[in-house]
Amino acid sequence: IFIDDTIPGSDWAWAVTQTWCTGSGTAGDPYLLENLEIDAVGGVCISIQNSNAYFIIRTCTLFNAAGASNPGIYLYNVANGDINMNDLTNNDHGIYLEFSSYNNIVGNTIYGNTWGTDIALVDSDYNTIEDNFAENGWQGIYLGGSNNNAISGNTATKNINFGLVINYDSNLNYISENILKNQNGASGIYILREDDSNTITGNTIEDNPQHGILLTDSSFNEVSGNIIRNNTLNGIDIYNSFNSIISENSVTDNNIGINVDSLSSVN
């Protein structure tokens, strides 16, 4: 399914004439794509672009978007979308947002992505990512150049790389109550490249083969109230990062609990 609200014949006015779309695109009567089963056969299952209409993608089964970094669901320059309770398997990426804001991604199961990220936000702000389950992908949740997002209540486990990555000048994100465990090759949370003023609180980060939380080249981030245990390297590792606030974490059974290199400062 391809919807671009700037292209006649591929816009919402066209989509609502199809059997798989209902609604009128308002807050009270959003467009609805529900209970669809889509085999992308190497393409993209659902792509929505250049849209401010209200819509819901709910309880769909989306699979085999497994070529050329294709996602199961792709939003580009989109606001006012709700992506709820979908099952996405065997895609390159699970759900991928680019230049998209004020969307909600809630209660989805994303499993077995072949190369990409289970949930990715790129240059996307003010989104809510909540209560999703992300397993056996390349990495769990990725934020790149994305600000003011709320990431809460998600479980990311058994991914090849990191559980959660905050990268490339992503600021003021609130990361809370997530479970990040048993990644197969890297750390639970990785914050790098000038990411400032993010809050990491109330998460459980355990059984990862590298660090629990790794901060590099970032400043003014708060890490508080987390349970960080049984990671192979350090519970919290801070490198070339300044004015980090580290408080009230339970850090146990790691190689080193908290490691701060000589270039960093911690409050």
Q: What is the pLDDT of residues 143-152, one digit of tens each?
A: 999 999 999 9
Mean pLDDT computed over every residue of the chain = 95
Reference 256, options 232, 227, 225, 222; nearest CA is 232
Phi (first) and psi of residue 13, to 5 degrees: -60, -35
Q: What confidence tier does 267 reach under pLDDT thresholds 50, 70, 90?
A: low
What pLDDT is recorded for position 115? 75
Greater confidence (193 vs 150) lies with: 150
Reference 249, options 212, 220, 197; nearest CA is 212
> What is the per-residue pLDDT across 229-244, written as a single tens digit (0 to 9) for each?
999 999 999 999 999 9
> What is the per-residue pLDDT across 119-143, written as a single tens digit (0 to 9) for each?
999 999 999 999 999 998 889 999 9
Q: How far is the C-alpha of 173 from the C-alpha of 189, rounded, in Å?
A: 13
- Model confidence at 182: pLDDT above 90: no
**Lookup: tokens for 8:** 């006649």
Contact (CB, 8 A) for 164 and 187: no
Please tell me the pTM assigned to this model: 0.95
Strand partners of residue 206: 181, 229
pLDDT-wise least confident of 21-25, 211-215, 260-264: 260-264
Q: What confidence tier does 183 reach under pLDDT thresholds 50, 70, 90?
A: confident
CB under 8 Å to 19, separation ≥6 — which residues?
A: none
Share of the chain above pLDDT 70, in %: 99
What pLDDT is recorded for position 265? 77
